[in-house]
Amino acid sequence: MLAKDMIRNFPRNKFVFLFQRIPYATVSLNLPTQLTAVSLLQCMFKILLSHPSRSKLECKYHPHAVLIEDSHAGDMVCSMCGLVVADRVIDVGSEWRTFSNDANAKDMCRVGASENLLLSGGDLSTMISGPSFSDSRQVDEQGKPLYRSRRNLSSADRVLTSAFREISQMAEHLNLPKSISDHANLLFKQVHETKNLRGRSNDAVSTACLYMACRQEGVPRTFKEVCAVSRVSKKEIGKVFKKILKILETNVQSVTVEDFMSRFCGNLNLNIAVQRVANVVARRALNLNLVAGRSPVSVAAAAIYMAAYALGYQKEKREIGEVAGCAEATITCTYRAMHARASELFPEDVRLTIRPLPL
């Protein structure tokens, strides 16, 4: 009865404070962890006596109202009238803020790496150390302790993890954003789940998925560019790419000259004026059917050569070919097909009579 009377007469807001402080008091006051009802009540009063200033916090208009702690402003506010009873209250809780944005880099605030939603949850691992660091069998050549990684990966997740790593490396070499590699990872997972490309190497499938992701995201790369960062031939990438289109029952937009023009001009350090003229030249050449059967890359390279020369920027065909990924002879053939009607290709504000194009 004594305990019930004490609880009945005790203010409610002080009970809230006491229950918040019990986990800290059991350690600081050396109290047992397994508490009965009576010992718990005794613990609460010990906390009250050890914090006399905090126990006196109450609203002068509503003494029995519960006080709400605003952790953002550091205020103790009355729940009835909103009166700020105390300010600048120190928050003793843990701070769990992190700014890693689930990046792949190491984050010391996390216990493990961020979870990959494309896997079946088997990307979680446990590092197991040896029984003793003094054992010579547990030390490598540099004297560092050896660890074993206990992973619960299925065969499908092992294939996906290896392919994702390969796609990430290729995207990094091509200076592609992370959104492109994530899209390629999703395409590879969809293709892998269909099990229709078992005879093809995973390198070819991952490279074709990256090429397809670039096309669908509006930042296309040529087969030569993708092949340069892969271990697969251009012919194999093209075959796998066509099969993926049939398996996923999807299409990609056709590659146009404008898709490459800004990137090529940027890599050649040409300004926006040259890029504008080159776009007009290439578009009119296509409308006049002067470059039928030519690839958009060769047409873009020839148009850049013509526009740069007409505007006073001397760029060699070899230099343009290295950036565009096509041979110098290919640029020459495309350029000659466009040269005969050059006066019809350029905008009206470009005067070719002052600087005629070379043959």
Q: pLDDT higher for 125 or 120?
A: 120
Residue 151 lies in a domain: no
Higher pLDDT, 152 or 28: 152
Same domain, 170 and 239: yes
Mean pLDDT of the chain: 78
Which pLDDT belongs to residue 251?
Answer: 87
DSSP state of 87: -
Q: How many CB atoms lie within 10 A of CB 308?
A: 22
The reply to whether 324 and 262 lie within a common domain is yes
The conformation of residue 218, written as its DSSP 8-state character, comes to T
Residue 119 lies in a domain: no
Report the pLDDT averaged over residues 178-205.
92
Domain boundary among 70, 86, 102: 86
Looking at the fold, whether 21 and 82 belong to one and the same domain comes out as yes
* Banded pLDDT at 3 (limits 50, 70, 90): very low
Are 237 and 169 in the same domain?
yes
Q: For residue 99, what pLDDT band results from cuts at 50, 70 and 90?
A: low
Q: What is the CATH number of the domain that holds 231?
A: 1.10.472.10
Q: What is the pLDDT of residue 74?
A: 80
pLDDT at 53: 45
- pLDDT of 6 over the 60 cut: no
Question: Is pLDDT larger for residue 124 or for residue 160?
Answer: 160
Residue 160 has a CB neighbour count (10 Å cut-off) of: 24
Which of 229, 248, 267 finishes a domain? Answer: 248
Contacts of 320 (CB under 8 A, 6+ apart): 264, 268, 301, 304, 305, 331
**Residue 145, in any domain of the structure:** no
Mean per-residue pLDDT, 67-75? 83
Task: Give residue-wise pLDDT tens across range 231-271.
Answer: 899 999 999 999 999 999 988 888 899 999 999 999 999 99
Q: Considering 226, 248, 270, which residue would you say is the last residue of a domain?
A: 248
Q: Are residues 234 and 161 in the same domain?
A: yes
Are 239 and 269 found together in one domain?
no
Q: Are residues 207 and 275 in the same domain?
A: no
Q: Look at residue 357 and tell me if it is in a domain.
A: no
Asked whether residue 212 falls in the same domain as residue 173, the answer is yes
What percent of the chain clears pLDDT 90, i.e. is strictly above it?
Answer: 41
Query: pLDDT band at 93, cuts 50/70/90?
Result: low
pLDDT at 151: 54
**Per-residue confidence band for 121, with pLDDT thresholds at 50, 70 and 90:** low
- When pLDDT is averaged across residues 80-84 and rounded to a whole number, the result is 90
Domain assignment present for 164: yes
Whether residue 94 lies inside any domain: the answer is: no
Q: What is the pLDDT of residues 286-319, one digit of tens each?
A: 999 999 889 999 999 999 999 998 888 888 999 9
Q: What is the pLDDT of residue 142?
A: 63
Is residue 204, in this structure, part of any structural domain at all? yes
Q: Give the pLDDT of residue 354.
A: 43
* Mean pLDDT of the 94-110 span: 58
- pLDDT higher than 70, residue 29: no
- pLDDT exceeds cutoff 80 at 228: yes
Q: Model-level pTM?
A: 0.61
Task: Of 50-64, 103-117, 189-203, give the lowest mean pLDDT range.
Answer: 103-117
Give the span between the Cα atoms of 272 and 278, in whole angstroms.
10
- pLDDT: is 96 or 120 the higher one? 120
Mean pLDDT of 114-122: 66
Given this model, what pLDDT does residue 23 score?
A: 56
d(CA 115, CA 124): 8
Of 47-51, 80-84, 98-102, 300-304, the range with the lowest mean pLDDT is 47-51
Expressed as residue numbers, the domain containing 337 is 258-345
Quick one: how far is CA 241 from the chain centroid? 24
What is the average per-residue pLDDT within 74-83? 89
Residues 244 and 276 in one domain: no
DSSP string, 57-109: ---SS-TTSPEEEETTTTEEEETTT--EEE-SPPP-S-------TT-SS--TT
Say which residue, 77 or 133, is predicted with more confidence.
77
**Count of domains for the chain:** 3
Alpha carbon distance 154, 123 (integer Å): 10
